[in-house]
């Protein structure tokens, strides 16, 4: 997570049990909002599609029609929206977040957008005396029905200190990274390895299988070898039975890789593994795997190899 500034002037610490606002109730957002409700937090929320909020409303969530009203009626606002465009949409306009925030209020953005979009919004919030933090969890940890995040990239100081207890309810660890956008950069850095590891594992497994080695045996030996990272050990079984509900889908993975490549071009930094993964993710999406889990790269690679 990252923050707007080290200056504490104008900062207002939320109550011990703050009123929480939530913007964006998609697959991840609804799980996080649900956890907050289960923990006894008062949660008010809005979403582009009101119907998605109904199960949470039945559990005690208060529905509010606009992002402006969410900000105006709560102490801490969290958002989980898809991309830069969605972030801009909830932030601006007469019904946007910026129209409702108060001086000293804390806003936590939890979805992977571009670092520059995050920094720009943080500056606009700071101009209103509000504080922005960007909180991220590595995509490798995502699982349906499990905790929405197991670790967080975060920055301190004052605004973060006030919401740290809340974040610790959602993530196993909370780590100080740097100013606005740095949590996002670190998340992108992690996801390069996630995509590259999964692709390399799929390549090696396909080579073993096409050479006559049983797929289950190859998976067991490979994941117990030095390449058996925690991520591979957790995700490798999905290669045997690809779930209908993705833990982290190929479309979102490519979005993050594209953000990493764009950030690298501005520095400039060479990212050959990310570029290769991006090419294969493009093939996967064209093959109908956009909403399937990243483990589906094995099936895509197998199909591509059959056509040669």
Q: Going residue by residue through the chain (308 aa), what tens digit of pLDDT does each one get?
A: 554 433 444 444 455 678 999 999 988 899 999 999 999 999 999 999 889 899 999 999 999 999 999 999 999 999 999 899 999 999 999 999 999 999 989 999 998 899 999 999 999 999 999 999 988 765 544 554 434 444 444 443 677 777 888 888 887 777 778 788 888 999 999 999 999 999 999 999 999 999 999 999 999 999 999 999 999 999 999 999 999 999 999 999 999 999 999 999 999 999 999 999 999 999 999 999 999 999 999 999 999 998 76
Contact 115, 181 (CB under 8 A): yes
**Greatest C-alpha distance within the chain:** 67
Q: Which two tokens stand for residue 59?
A: 């559990």
Look at the block and give the residue holding tokens 């390069």. 192
What is the predicted pLDDT for the residue at 7?
41
In this prediction, residue 16 carries a pLDDT of 60
> Residue 151 has what pLDDT?
43
Nearest to 77 by CA among 54, 52, 51, 109: 109
Tokens for 68, please give them: 């402006």
Which domains does the chain carry? 2-179 (3.40.50.720), 185-306 (1.10.1040.10)
Looking at residue 157, its pLDDT comes to 62
Strands 76-79, 151-154: pairing is unpaired
Q: What is the chain's alpha carbon radius of gyration, rounded to the nearest angstrom?
A: 20
The Cα-based distances of 164 to 1, 78, 153, 249 in angstroms read: 10, 13, 12, 29
Tokens, residue 4? 């707007």
Start-to-end C-alpha separation, the chain? 45
HEC string of the chain equals: CEECCCCCCCCCCCCCCCCEEEECCCHHHHHHHHHHHHCCCCEEEECCCHHHHHHHHCCCCEECCCHHHHHHCCCEEEECCCCHHHHHHHHCCCCCHHHHCCCCCEEEECCCCCHHHHHHHHHHHHHCCCEEEECECCHHHCCCCCCCCCEEEECCCHHHHHHHHHHHHHCCEEEECEECCHHHHHHHHHHHHHHHHHHHHHHHHHHHHHCCCCHHHHHHHHHCCCCCCHHHHHHCHHHHCCCCCCCCEHHHHHHHHHHHHHHHHHCCCCCHHHHHHHHHHHHHHHCCCCCCEHHHHHHHHHHHHHCC
CB within 8 Å of 164: residues ≥ 6 apart: 154, 156, 174
Q: What are phi and psi of 81, to 5 degrees?
A: -120, 165
In this prediction, residue 137 carries a pLDDT of 66
């Amino acid at each position: 997570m990252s923050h707007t500034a080290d200056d504490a002037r104008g900062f207002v610490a939320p109550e011990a049990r703050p009123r929480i606002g939530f913007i964006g109730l998609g697959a991840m957002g609804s799980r996080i909002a649900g956890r907050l409700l289960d923990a006894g937090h008062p949660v008010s929320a809005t979403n582009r599609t009101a119907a998605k909020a109904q199960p949470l409303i039945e559990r005690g969530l208060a529905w509010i029609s606009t992002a402006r009203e969410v900000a105006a009626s709560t102490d801490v606002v969290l958002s989980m929206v898809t991309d830069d465009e969605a972030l801009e949409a909830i932030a601006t306009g007469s019904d946007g977040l910026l129209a409702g925030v108060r001086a000293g209020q804390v806003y936590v953005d939890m979805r992977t957008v571009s670092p520059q979009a995050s920094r720009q919004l943080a500056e606009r919030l700071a101009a209103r005396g509000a504080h922005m933090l960007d909180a991220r969890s590595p995509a490798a940890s995502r699982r349906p029905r499990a905790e929405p995040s197991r670790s967080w990239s975060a920055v301190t100081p004052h605004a973060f200190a006030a919401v740290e207890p809340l974040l610790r309810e959602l993530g196993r660890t909370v780590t100080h990274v740097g100013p606005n956008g740095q949590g996002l950069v670190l998340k992108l850095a992690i996801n390069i390895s996630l995509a590259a590891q999964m692709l390399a594992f799929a390549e090696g497994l396909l080579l073993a299988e096409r050479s006559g080695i049983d797929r289950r045996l190859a998976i067991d030996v490979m994941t117990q070898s030095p390449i058996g990272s925690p991520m591979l050990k957790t995700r490798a079984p999905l290669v045997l039975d690809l779930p209908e509900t993705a833990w982290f889908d190929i479309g979102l993975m490519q979005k993050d890789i594209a953000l990493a490549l764009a950030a690298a071009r501005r520095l400039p930094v060479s990212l050959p593994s990310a570029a290769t993964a991006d090419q294969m993710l493009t093939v996967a999406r064209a093959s109908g795997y956009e909403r399937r889990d990243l483990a589906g790269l094995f099936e895509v690679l197998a199909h591509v190899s059959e056509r040669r």
